[in-house]
Structure 1
Amino acid sequence: MTYVSRERAAGPTRRSALAGLVGGAGAAMAAGCTPSGASPAAAPTPSRSPGATAPAANPTPGAMTLFKDPAYNFGGLMALGGAGFGAGEVGEVLTAVNTINKAGLSSQTYVETFKKLGDQLMEAPEGSKPDDQTKRFRALRAAQYYAQALFFVLGSDDPGSEEQLYKAGRGAWDTFCGLCDPAPVKANVPYGKTPLPVWFFRPDGADTRRPTVILTNGSDGQNVDMWTYGVPAALDRGWNALVYDGPGQGQLLFVDRVVFSPTWEKVVTPLVDWLVARPDVDPKKIALTGLSMAGDLAPRAAAFETRIAALVAMPGCVEPWLGFPAEIREILTPSKEETNNIWNKEVVPELPPAAAATMKKRFEPFSIPAMLDAREGKLFTDFYTPATRIQALTITDVVGRITSPTLVLDYDDEQFYPGQPRQMYDKLTSPKDYVKLTAAQGAQLHCSPMAPQLHCEVVFDWLQETLSGS
């Protein structure tokens, strides 16, 4: 891990770009993130040098390579990493991996295998009558496996089952939450025409005012990921934790059909309003974290919502559009008509199936027509609208407005946003820290999928120290 101490403080031609897109940009796009365990890892000792650690030649050597395709491998590693917080079981995941590889890796075999595993866990185990704790953690693991299937369903033989598969995962999550003690407070927080579903976790039912963390998901994560990346870590430290679906996420995307918003402060402000009205929340100790693409969303919110007392970007991201390969970005021109002509006449006819499936997945949170087309097995025809929505998420001009202390995380072999965490850190004028998680710790890749326990230790040690004097 690389640690920086606190401070206060010409592209390719279109022809070559399209050739690159057809020749393999789909694989490059897919290389990044989507979605009772081991003993917690020892907290790392930070190095106070600003230099970056050299990444390994192979980011997933040896046993870390579950699948030859990096996108599927990333999903498998996320499922394995969740085991440390009960959101997965090592034996179940590795058995699923073997089953998929034996059948031949594809979206279809991946979806079938993980959905079947989720279905099995939502049924009673053979030979015994499960108690509530067994039901609870079986439901949590089921939520993980349904999320794994959901991520690749648009490339399967039944893309139209996406909403049904989401609801299966949501049902498993709600079952898990209902069996927690205490169960999280469920509510709908007003937001435009479509309220935000929230799950408010507390260490106990007392009205003691406590620090609270708002956990913000990325562009394709599910609620179970927020469990892995924050809820138990918060509860174990006597904090509250708020999980929510924002526009472009979870229920708002798959059911209510609301796409991402570039003004994320309008999402976070009603959440803060809801929290400060509660007797069990310390209004001066509300932290905000953002995982994956939310490393852009959460900082955007903190730039305008001044009640955020501490911010963590995991990783720091200032321009999500750069998370797409140049071959994709080159399609977009200032003209909607020209852009869509290039897309439909020059790109789509030559797009390999795997790349097409990836495009469907990456663009659906930004375009309901694209999502609905994908569920019918079709590729969207309007490239311009979702692409410009992704461009609108750029926050380079507002990072300097952030006043709250901020932790920026980075990772060896960061696939989506290489270099962007450092860019965010450099633009910050508030008290700030930069931490890089490394391959030497097994914490490489976007969001450290193999090391969420270590990830949480770094984040919550920093939050505890930062808010201890607030």
Structure 2
Amino acid sequence: MTHETNGPAAWPARRTLLTAGAGAVLATGCSRSAAAPDLRASPSPSGTTRGADLTPGAMALFEDPSYNFNGLFALGASGAGAAEVGEVLTAVNAINKAGPSAQSYVTTFSRLGDRLMAAPEGGRPDGRTTRFRALRAAQYYGQALFFVLGSDTPGDEERLYRAGRAAWDRFCSLCDPKPVTDRVPYGKTPLPVWFFRPGGSGSRRPTVILTNGSDGQNVDMWTYGVPAALDRGWNALVYDGPGQGQLLFVDRVTFTPTWEKVVAPLIDWLSRRPDVDTGKIALTGLSMAGDLVPRAAAFEPRLAAAVAMPGCVEPWRGFPPEIREILRPGKAETNDIWNKEVVPSLPEADAATMKKRFEPFSVPAMLAARQGKTFTDFYTPARAIQALTVTDVVSRIRTPMLVLDYEGEQFYPGQARELYDKLASPKDYVKLTAAEGAQLHCSPMAPQLHCEVVFDWLQETL
């Protein structure tokens, strides 16, 4: 773990930090022509460029880096009760035996979710058993959801989302205390929220708003923050924003570049609660939300602290150059290149990856993917992704910020450092490493360590 700071607070002494080698990032670049780019050889939300180098031994669940990366998230979630090691490894063995494919992955994990939502055979589960079976089911439905667009049944996407959401809601209904649920006004489509509180008094407490990325589910926010917050006496707010969860899969609302307009009504809602210390509201962002959080912090002065996990300033650069080069100034020219030169020679697995990556930015792309088709309008969602660039607004940030980075970061290599260098506010930079088992995007095998770093910093900062 490497660490840098320009803030006045000293890092806790127990965090004597290891120095990682400079430039420990994954190579980008593709091995095919622009007409048929190999997305799996470049940063993508479901694969790594040199994943085998950084996922040795027990971390190598599948030969295919896309399945491996997602499987690691399921394994890592076991520390928070959001998965079971034996269940995950049994599913991995079943998928490998059947032949790894989107279909075998979806079928195996969705059936596992179904099994956990039913009562255990021959047993009479109490509330706690039912609760954590539902939490694990939410994880497994999320695993299936991630690959469903590449399966034989892409039209099952909304059904799988609803199954995972039902599992999450069952889990929440059995928590003690139950999270407060509400619909926070936002444009024409309210934001669903789950407000978790520690037991005990209703005194005012620090509160963390946990922000998901472009393809995460509510269960991931449990793994990456809720228990860590509650254990420290904090409140935690989980929500679906545009392009996420219910707003994407059901309400069909895509991402917005003005994330401060999403965060502001959440803070308004929190500020009306007697159990929230309004001077200690923090915002964290996982995966692509490492771009959304700096944007919100640049325009929302009520935030007391912010964490980008990892730091990101331009999500469009997370696509390989061959994909970015398709985008031209004109819509007609761009879509001509996409439909006539790229799509006809795009391998099936790469087409599925593009469908997955573009759907949070385009309802037509999502609906086409659910019909087993590749979207025809590349230009509009590509411009929407470009609009998320925050390079020009980072200098406005006055909120103290922690920027996380990861050895072997696949999607946004170098961008965490770029964000950190541009910040003029009190700031810290921490790079999690392979020596700690915390390598790769969002440290999928080390979410507990991840939370320790984040919440130690939040405690020190606030």
Q: Which residue of 1 aligns with 2:124?
A: 129
Matching residue's letter, 2:437? G
Give the CA RMSD over aligned residues.
1.6
Deviation at 1:207, TM superposition (A): 2.2
Q: Which residue of 2 aligns with 1:204?
A: 199
Q: Which residue of 2 aligns with 1:398?
A: 393
**In the aligned structure 1, how far is the partner of 2:304 from the partner of 2:47?**
28
Deviation at 1:22, TM superposition (A): 1.6
Q: Is the 8 A contact 2:204 2:277 kept in 1?
A: yes
Matching residue's letter, 2:221? M
Q: Which residue of 1 aligns with 2:21?
A: none
CA deviations on 1:59-113 (whole Å, 9 max, x unpaired) are 1011111011111101100000000000000000000000000000000000000
Q: Which residue of 2 aligns with 1:4?
A: 4
Q: Which residue of 2 aligns with 1:216?
A: 211
Q: Which residue of 1 aligns with 2:39?
A: 25
**In the aligned structure 2, how far is the partner of 1:419 from the partner of 1:357?**
26
Alignment of 1:86-105 (within 5 A): 86-105=81-100
Q: Does 1:289 align with 2:284?
A: yes
**In the aligned structure 1, how far is the partner of 2:197 from the partner of 2:152?**
41
**In the aligned structure 2, how far is the partner of 1:98 from the partner of 1:6?**
47
SS of equivalent residue, structure 2 residue 456: helix
**In the aligned structure 2, how far is the partner of 1:269 from the partner of 1:174?**
25
TM-score (norm 2): 0.93
Deviation at 1:142, TM superposition (A): 0.1
Alignment of 1:71-82 (within 5 A): 71-82=66-77
Q: Which residue of 1 aligns with 2:25?
A: none
Q: Is the 8 A contact 2:155 2:371 kept in 1?
A: yes
Deviating above 6 A after TM superposition, structure 1's stretches of 4 or more consecutive aligned residues are: none
SS of equivalent residue, structure 1 residue 219: coil
Counterpart selection for 2:458 from 445, 459, 463 = 463
**In the aligned structure 1, how far is the partner of 2:254 from the partner of 2:304?**
28
Q: Does 1:371 align with 2:385?
A: no
Q: Is the 8 A contact 1:17 1:327 kept in 2?
A: no
Alignment of 1:106-185 (within 5 A): 106-185=101-180
Structure 1: unaligned runs, 5 residues or longer: 9-15, 35-54
Identity of aligned residues (%): 76
Q: Does 1:65 align with 2:57?
A: no
Q: Is the 8 A contact 1:18 1:347 kept in 2?
A: no
SS of equivalent residue, structure 2 residue 195: strand
Q: Does 1:233 align with 2:247?
A: no
TM-score (norm 1): 0.92
**In the aligned structure 1, how far is the partner of 2:155 from the partner of 2:278?**
44
Deviation at 1:29, TM superposition (A): 4.7
Deviation at 1:5, TM superposition (A): 2.4
How has the CA–CA distance of structure 1 residues 367 and 205 changed in structure 2, closer, same or farther, with 3 Å as cutoff? farther
Structure 2: unaligned runs, 5 residues or longer: 9-29
SS of equivalent residue, structure 1 residue 400: helix
Q: Which residue of 2 aligns with 1:434?
A: 429
Q: Is the 8 A contact 2:46 2:353 kept in 1?
A: no
Matching residue's letter, 2:38? G
Q: Is the 8 A contact 2:45 2:357 kept in 1?
A: no
Deviation at 1:206, TM superposition (A): 3.1
Matching residue's letter, 2:131? R
**In the aligned structure 1, how far is the partner of 2:66 from the partner of 2:381?**
22
- How many residues align? The count is 440
Deviation at 1:127, TM superposition (A): 1.6
How has the CA–CA distance of structure 1 residues 26 and 335 changed in structure 2, closer, same or farther, with 3 Å as cutoff? farther
**In the aligned structure 1, how far is the partner of 2:261 from the partner of 2:68?**
35
CA deviations on 1:210-244 (whole Å, 9 max, x unpaired) are 00000000000000000000000000000000000
SS of equivalent residue, structure 1 residue 257: coil
How has the CA–CA distance of structure 1 residues 350 and 33 changed in structure 2, closer, same or farther, with 3 Å as cutoff? closer
SS of equivalent residue, structure 2 residue 367: helix
CA deviations on 1:244-267 (whole Å, 9 max, x unpaired) are 000000000000000000000000
Deviation at 1:26, TM superposition (A): 4.3
Deviation at 1:444, TM superposition (A): 0.2
Q: Does 1:422 align with 2:417?
A: yes
How has the CA–CA distance of structure 1 residues 434 and 33 changed in structure 2, closer, same or farther, with 3 Å as cutoff? farther
**In the aligned structure 1, how far is the partner of 2:232 from the partner of 2:31?**
50
Q: Does 1:252 align with 2:247?
A: yes
Q: Is the 8 A contact 1:213 1:239 kept in 2?
A: yes
CA deviations on 1:107-145 (whole Å, 9 max, x unpaired) are 000000000000000000012100000000000000000
**In the aligned structure 2, how far is the partner of 1:383 from the partner of 1:187?**
35
Matching residue's letter, 2:33? A
